[in-house]
Amino acid sequence: MGFPTAPLVTIAFKDLAKSNAANRGMPGERICFLPHPMTNKSDEQMYAVLEGNDPVTNKPLMAEIIDALTKPLTADEKKTGMVNPDIGPATYVGTQDELQRLYCDNNMTDFMPIILPTAEKVEAMLKGTSHSPDEVVGKLSAAQGAQPSWSFTVKHVAINAVMAGASPEYLPVILAISATGQPALFSSTSSFSRMVLLNGPISDQIKMNYGIGAMGPFAEPNAVIGRAWTILSKNLGGCGRPGETYMGSLGSNFNYNNLCIAETENKLPDGWKPFHVQKGFKPDESVVSIFSGWSLNNVAWFPNMPYHELIKNWLTHFFSFGTAAATLLLDPTVARDAKDHGYNSKEALSDYWSKNSKTPAWLYWDTHRNELKQAQAGVEPYASYLKMGDGEIPFQRFYRRGRPGAPPDPNPKSSIEVVVLGGETNTYWAGGDFSYVTSASVDKWR
């Protein structure tokens, strides 16, 4: 782009940085490297890094950065050229065991046995949609907006659906998920998880389980639709290559089938809208909704208080530190309890939680360092917050906030989503740091 640039990359990502530069047409990009990790260092430790040497080249780091920004490019550094992935031959010949091994050895599966995508099985799968096999569905990449992103067709999705064990009637759902451009396997170091929620007539048509064991391995569509998302993310988006396009330090078992669930719409309390209707779709539309997060708490707690109050306290004291979005998965018994206490819609319940769940003082000050300085200087309301000691700060963290510097929204929306599912065997609920990403029509892909 013509701008002098000196990327700073920790040494743990040396190979990734060099391969990404080459794959994007800059094989000679000047990259400066730092020790790893760089988190939680004191000012003194940070200055020691800046005054030390690049751990790869062993040259003084600051001099290297200045040279990268100021010295003219050499002939080798000016070389360009993209690296295109090898898609292999159109067909493979071998025994079934040999082909299973080929897929595993090339990171094209979730490392559990697959259904081999023969021409006959793929042709049968394509009968699940009226769309042309050659129609482009969209693009996928391991990180939002990353380049190069891979373009893929209906047939490509069908091949991966076969591999996951899907039936043709599931294909429109899998096409809708892939059309969002959201990968199941994200490139972050923080081991993201994904969740897909089905709403509308499609849930009953394909026999999704949204009753007893709604989040468990008790129905074929719940299992294989989410699994197909992982497999197609690998094969159609280049995702899930550890050390290259997947950097989750711990990883997540959720990624096997990505919390593939459906809402118990027939057990919603009166006045409570299905999730897809909340997002602007009609009740008779079939819709997939995508969420992104890290973890869930499955809660079995029976205090002497209404469940919406219990959840409020959980949001204040036990919810993921510093996270400003949440998703609550409520058994219908818990949803009815909230209705009985006057919450006539999901929105009213979500708004109550956002307004009344506070922030522990230690967490607030740890994540609001500038406000702490203002509090110490006597600036309000922060000075009053500081006088509250170690208790709770009346800072409402569960609201969608605009861009930094934008004027405050006079009617902020709660960032807490509510989904109802489960078999009513007891008053249970689960909650986690999943945030809503997007929704897409299934009907479009029938």
**CA-wise closest residue to 290 among 209, 187, 180:** 180
- Which of 296, 323, 340 corresponds to the end of one domain? 296
Segments in 269-331 forming alpha helices (H):
275-278, 307-317
pLDDT at 401: 63
Instruction: Specify if 87 maps to a domain.
Output: no
pLDDT at 80: 83
Say if residue 374 is in the same domain as residue 258: no
Q: How many CB atoms lie within 10 A of CB 183?
A: 29
Say if residue 309 is in the same domain as residue 285: no
Q: What angle do CA 139, 144, 150 make, to 5 degrees?
A: 25
Instruction: Specify if 172 maps to a domain.
Output: yes
Query: Which DSSP symbol is given to 396?
Result: -
Whether the CB-CB separation of 232 and 114 falls below 8 Å is answered with no
Find all residues with CB under 8 Å of 97, minimum gap 6, and list them: none
Q: Is 71 exposed, middle or buried (0-12, 13-18, 19+ CB in 10 A)?
A: exposed
State which amino acid sits at residue 53. Answer: N
Say if residue 137 is in the same domain as residue 172: yes
CA distance 214 to 264: 9
Cα 288 from chain centre: 15
Q: What angle do CA 36, 37, 41 make, to 5 degrees?
A: 120
**CA-wise closest residue to 211 among 331, 388, 383, 370:** 331
pLDDT at 83: 63
Instruction: Specify if 308 maps to a domain.
Output: yes
pLDDT at 128: 98
> How many helices (DSSP H) and strands (DSSP E) are in the chain?
16, 14
Say if residue 325 is in the same domain as residue 269: no
Say if residue 290 is in the same domain as residue 323: no
pLDDT tens, per residue, the chain with 446 residues: 778 889 999 998 888 888 778 777 888 889 999 999 988 888 899 999 999 999 999 999 999 999 999 999 999 888 887 666 667 777 888 899 999 999 999 999 999 999 999 999 999 999 999 999 999 999 998 876 565 568 999 999 999 999 999 999 999 999 999 999 999 998 888 898 999 999 999 999 999 999 999 999 999 999 999 999 999 999 999 899 888 888 898 999 999 999 999 999 999 999 999 999 999 999 999 999 999 999 898 888 787 889 999 999 888 877 766 678 999 999 999 999 999 999 999 999 999 999 998 888 888 888 888 999 999 999 998 999 999 888 888 887 887 765 555 555 667 788 999 999 999 999 999 999 999 999 999 999 99
Say if residue 109 is in the same domain as residue 236: yes
Instruction: Work out how many domains the chain is built from and give that number.
Output: 3
Instruction: Specify if 80 maps to a domain.
Output: no
Say if residue 314 is in the same domain as residue 276: no
Instruction: Specify if 81 maps to a domain.
Output: no
Instruction: Specify if 1 maps to a domain.
Output: no
Q: What does pTM read for this prediction?
A: 0.87
Cis omega before residue 394 (within 30°)?
no
Instruction: Specify if 88 maps to a domain.
Output: no
Residue with tokens 């999730």: 275
Say if residue 198 is in the same domain as residue 336: no
Say if residue 255 is in the same domain as residue 125: yes
Segments in 73-133 forming alpha helices (H):
96-105, 119-126
Segments in 140-244 forming alpha helices (H):
154-164, 171-179, 202-205, 220-237
pLDDT at 160: 98
Say if residue 209 is in the same domain as residue 335: no
**CA-wise closest residue to 329 among 418, 266, 398, 260:** 418
Residue with tokens 């290297």: 64
Say if residue 205 is in the same domain as residue 234: yes
Residue-number span of the structural domain to which 390 is assigned: 297-402+410-438
Instruction: Specify if 316 maps to a domain.
Output: yes
Say if residue 249 is in the same domain as residue 105: yes
Q: Is 1 exposed, middle or buried (0-12, 13-18, 19+ CB in 10 A)?
A: exposed
